[in-house]
Amino acid sequence: MEDKEESNGSCFFPQSKKMKFQSEEEKKSEEVMENKEELNGSCFFPKSKKMKFQSEEEKKSEEEKMAISLDLPDYTILSPIGEGAFGKVYKAEHNTTKRFVAVKVLKGSSHAVRRERNILMELQPHPNIIQLIEVIGVEERDGGGPVYFVFELMDDDLKSIAERILSKKHQITDTQIKSYMHQLLSGLAHLHAKQALHRDIKGANILLNKKGDLKMADFGLSRFTLPYRLSELIINVKATKDVLSFIQ
């Protein structure tokens, strides 16, 4: 005799054929096995899907390990330290000079990579703009390979410092606040003097070192812009006397 299909929430689980007479121990054993297949009182997930989820985690872990061993003959990648708008950032050491640097790995479109490189090179050098040491792999970018931006290594960022201040793990003086604001406005003025907009100013993109130097970083969303012009001049409309007198 076949048992009726039992319902569990919205799913039905067909039961295998059983003997008409069944001991209490066998019933309890079957209930335990059914409970193991259930999750959150809903449908059970087949073992194949569970194994797939685990394999994705393992794949992600392998990708992170591969990222640490990047193909940079002059540098040794040490550890990941952050992530920018279009790439991840790693701490590295130059094999000859033993200088510690930050390496940003970009895998976006070649146009976006060249735009960020051009903006960074146009802003160099300035004491409140992150120093770009070198760019590796731009020529091969059209072939699909990554591009490496090598920057000076900073010790911290404003977001982390603000979080420590709120949790009372860090103290900051009025003199430091004035210094940071002066340096930030100095870097921003330099950007605007070069007719560039950062477009992503936030605590994580404002870097600091132990000497108290502040530098703006992560120009992945930055753009060059045109200086302001009157709309009458742009659309070539005859200006009024008031507008002409204002221009003069």
Binding residue ranges for ATP: 104
Angle at 205 between CA 77 and CA 102, to 5 degrees: 15
Residues annotated in the binding site, as ranges? 104
Can 200 be counted among the known catalytic residues?
A: yes
Contact 197, 233 (CB under 8 A): no
Q: Of 215, 208, 126, 200, nearest to 162 (Cα)?
A: 208
- The contacts of residue 154 (CB under 8 Å, 6+ apart) are 102, 130, 207, 208, 209, 215, 217
SS3 of residue 122 by DSSP: helix
Q: Of 189, 225, 205, 206, nearest to 84 (Cα)?
A: 205
Q: Name beta bridge partners: 136.
A: 148
Contact 141, 226 (CB under 8 A): no
The pair of structure tokens assigned to 150 is 């090598």
Q: Which of 74, 200, 218, 242 is catalytic?
A: 200
Rounded to an integer, what is the distance from CA 188 to the centroid of its chain? 22
What residues are annotated to the active site? 200
